[in-house]
Structure 1
Amino acid sequence: MKTLKTLLTATCLLIGILPASAQGINFEHDFNKALDLAKKENKMIFVDFYTSWCGPCKLMSAEVFPQKEAGDYFNREFINLKVQCDDKGAGVELGKKYKINAYPTLAFLDKDGNTVHSTAGGLSVAGLIELAKTATDPNKNQLAMVKEWEGGNRDHAFASRYFRTLTRSYRSEKANADFEKYFGTLKPSQKAAKNTFELMGIVKTGPFSPSFEYMEQHTGDFYKSVGQAKIDSTIANAYLGYFKGLQAAGFSNRDMTEFNSKMKLFKAKKYPFYDEYAEFYAVFDSKGVNGKDDINVYMQRGTEFLRKYGKKNDSYTLSLASMLGNWTGKKDQGLEGIRWMEELLQRNNNPRYLNTYFYILWRNFHFDKAMEVAQLMKANAVKENSSTADIDKQIQMVKDLKEKYKNI
């Protein structure tokens, strides 16, 4: 039989092991239990909506939630809950219920399970605590803003803040619904006003929506308040982004019905840039003589398209190179993508483009060059006082791949 001294020694050793992992935020994993605790302790619920594949989610779990400062604050103020939105069970249903569209989504619920405040994306410990303070402030949180909006406050400064808050937390569905309803109440002179156009930009009203259609039908009024160049570029870029989303969804679901039907409507509008956009999207539908997707046809079409239109819009190169990176996965299989990115960087050495360059490099097994680019990305992050944890992991990933494929 174990002696009391032995048990105490074992207990002390266990306690000595626990603080590193137990000092952070203590999470529940059952929604109903969290609700019961919230009612019993009269607390709000902090929810980390995450997925198994989300990089920022893993970073938060590994480096933010375990911090003592985070644990001291959140364990005292909230009932904390983790919900995995790709668990094929209750987590998926909760994600649908709360309309979670980005990960991580960090949400605060009242004790009855109603959303009080939320945001999407990773945060530092300080940022997380600041978010929690906003969530618990009845004068600042999203619920208060929604009540104020529904109460009739249409001051432009408040409207800007309201719609920014919704879009930043990926509540775009509500933002668009509220804006379109608001837009419908305006007089013609107000609809074409510069302030209204600014709100359209915040909400990102897209093609075929009532407000966007109105702008297309009354461009002359908007030219006077905003300027022709701005309106024309807004319309053109909106269609490009809109069809990118439809095309990506169609390829993912193997159903291009909606994309094709909307392209017909787009063609009927007779914009001068229709042929350019149609040619761009045709690159993604690159099939060989056997009727199957062919990477070589894709690269040939991509090069021809960029030769004609690449200098007009950097996003063409970024989109085509990213897709090629997804497609390739062998040594030198997608070399054209590397060339596309190097030509773009020579023309516009934008640090934000390095992510795509890094991706296409390592996907072609150009590991040494990829690590050079990753070091540049890391240096830029340091200059911006941003975390380098994710970049460090990518560097280690490339090192591991280099070792794995060293004989290829």
Structure 2
Amino acid sequence: MKSFNKTQYYLRFSLLLAILVGLSMNIGLFAQNRKVDLKENLPFEEVLKMAKAQDKYIFLDFGSLTCKPCLYIKKFVLTLDSVADFINARFVSVDYNQGAEKDRLRKLYNVVGEPVLLILDQDGNFMHRMAGRVEGNELMERFRQGLDLQNNLVALEKQYNSGVRDKDLILKYLKTLQQAGEVGRMNKVYHEYTSGSLENLKKPEYFDVFYAYNDDVGSEEVLYMTENWQEFGKLFGSGKIDSKINKLFSLHSLKYLYGHTNPKEDPTFGKILNFLQKSQHPRASEWLCYLVPAQYKYEDWPRMAQEVDNIYKYNLLKGKAGVSFKDMMVTQFVMYCHDPEALVYGVKWCKELSEEADEKAKQNYQNTIKTFEERISKGKPEELEWH
């Protein structure tokens, strides 16, 4: 049996420890995400010199220290290895989050809102703009477009201003303006392209642009498509047409009835209410169940309650949709209504809803009934949160 050698033991132990430490450091190194080399608030002249010396483009990130979308991009997107490697290899990157230089550059490059990301050439000439929160794959796609001298924002704008009006360019230009946060310019380009007879919407080159970029439920184009939904369905597919119409009218119907402002303050409300009252669309009656009561909200609560009751009297909303609607109307009356005459209807709805509710919901309705009855007895009831 060999004798125990303390010196050899400690040497081997030290060597093993060094190997383990080295491995752990390497593992940590490989596990740690790389990130964009984002400098902060540098004088722009210095940025220009760096870009020329390194033969790189310039990436400017305009945000603030309290902007959540800005912080999200910095923490979760610019720390992705693929994003960091791509940007670091091609750009001198600077984050402008405060100070006089940020204010000066915002005016120089017409930066409104945040976050806004700009791509510039080595001389500081504008090439491309991106706005809003974005994920890694989207950001990479937009950066690649920004470096494409035939398809970045400047190039597309140049083509448009030269008179090019083919559908592919218009769609690409509108998408780029949307991603850049240039909403005013986007709407102007859209209206310039689609101006003319509404019959043009039956042509694919106009319809595709309209379908992708018009979400104004009160616009002449949307109302024309809705009025002629069967013909448009034959031309472009009934599923596609139904999806567009249902999305717009359902969304706005809910917004007007359940919103926190008087619907009549929005000019679009009266426009779509009048349209649907004459429309032959198969879902017009459903949307009117929301819009007709909404016109009396905040102005005539008893009349609003009567209109809601008529919906059930004539069985216009059935099944789960009807139950959900009645429950939401109870919520609306709890939150906003102070009229004893109207609150009588609220008591009735709570009793009707309680009949098929679970125990927890029944208790909520009972509590709400007590609240309504207290308000009715006082004449000027106090508000109560709906639970």
Scaled by the length of structure 2, the TM-score of the pair is 0.52
Please list the CA deviations of residues 181-230 of structure 1 after superposition, one character each: whole Å capped at 9, or x if unmatched.
01125x66533224422211211341344544554676676455336675
Rounded to whole Å, the distance in 2 between the matches of 1:309 and 1:95 is 58
Rounded to whole Å, the distance in 2 between the matches of 1:179 and 1:99 is 21
Number of the residue aligned with 1:178: 189
Contact 2:198 2:224 (8 Å CA) reproduced: no
Asked if residue 58 in structure 1 is aligned to residue 71 in structure 2, the reply is yes
Rounded to whole Å, the distance in 1 between the matches of 2:263 and 2:45 is 42
Query: Would the alpha carbon gap of residues 281 and 246 (structure 1) be closer, same or farther in structure 2, given more than 3 Å must change?
Result: closer
Rounded to whole Å, the distance in 2 between the matches of 1:84 and 1:246 is 38
Work out which of the two has the higher radius of gyration on C-alpha atoms and give 1 or 2: 2
Contact 1:29 1:82 (8 Å CA) reproduced: yes
Asked if residue 81 in structure 1 is aligned to residue 94 in structure 2, the reply is yes
Number of the residue aligned with 2:340: none
Query: Would the alpha carbon gap of residues 116 and 309 (structure 1) be closer, same or farther in structure 2, given more than 3 Å must change?
Result: farther
Contact 1:24 1:69 (8 Å CA) reproduced: no
- The residue type equivalent to 2:72 in the other structure is L
Rounded to whole Å, the distance in 1 between the matches of 2:160 and 2:192 is 12
Rounded to whole Å, the distance in 2 between the matches of 1:288 and 1:221 is 40
Rounded to whole Å, the distance in 2 between the matches of 1:72 and 1:235 is 44
* Mapping for residues 231-242 of structure 1, pairs under 5 Å: 231=241, 234-241=244-251
Please list the CA deviations of residues 246-282 of structure 1 after superposition, one character each: whole Å capped at 9, or x if unmatched.
899x84xxx6587444322332222434522326868
* Mapping for residues 6-405 of structure 1, pairs under 5 Å: 24-29=36-41, 33-34=43-44, 37-38=47-48, 41-42=51-52, 44-50=57-63, 55-66=68-79, 70-71=83-84, 73-84=86-97, 90=103, 97-100=110-113, 104-110=115-121, 111-112=123-124, 114=126, 116-118=128-130, 120-124=132-136, 128-184=139-195, 189-209=199-219, 211-212=221-222, 215=225, 222=232, 225-226=235-236, 231=241, 234-241=244-251, 251=260, 256=262, 259-269=265-275, 270=277, 271=279, 272-273=284-285, 274-278=287-291, 308=317
- The residue type equivalent to 2:118 in the other structure is A
Deviation at 1:150, TM superposition (A): 2.8
Number of the residue aligned with 1:330: none
Deviation at 1:141, TM superposition (A): 1.6
Contact 2:63 2:96 (8 Å CA) reproduced: yes
Rounded to whole Å, the distance in 2 between the matches of 1:78 and 1:135 is 12
Query: Would the alpha carbon gap of residues 264 and 70 (structure 1) be closer, same or farther in structure 2, given more than 3 Å must change?
Result: closer
- The residue type equivalent to 2:94 in the other structure is L
Q: How many positions carry a matched residue from both structures?
A: 282
Scaled by the length of structure 1, the TM-score of the pair is 0.50
Rounded to whole Å, the distance in 2 between the matches of 1:149 and 1:119 is 21
Contact 1:24 1:65 (8 Å CA) reproduced: yes
Aligned partner of residue 60 in structure 2, secondary structure = strand
Aligned partner of residue 37 in structure 2, secondary structure = coil
Rounded to whole Å, the distance in 1 between the matches of 2:106 and 2:256 is 25
State the identity %: 17
Number of the residue aligned with 1:367: none
Rounded to whole Å, the distance in 1 between the matches of 2:288 and 2:38 is 56
Contact 1:34 1:79 (8 Å CA) reproduced: no
Deviation at 1:180, TM superposition (A): 0.9
Structure 1: unaligned runs, 5 residues or longer: 1-15, 290-296, 328-335, 337-342, 344-408
Rounded to whole Å, the distance in 2 between the matches of 1:193 and 1:24 is 46
Query: Would the alpha carbon gap of residues 191 and 24 (structure 1) be closer, same or farther in structure 2, given more than 3 Å must change?
Result: closer
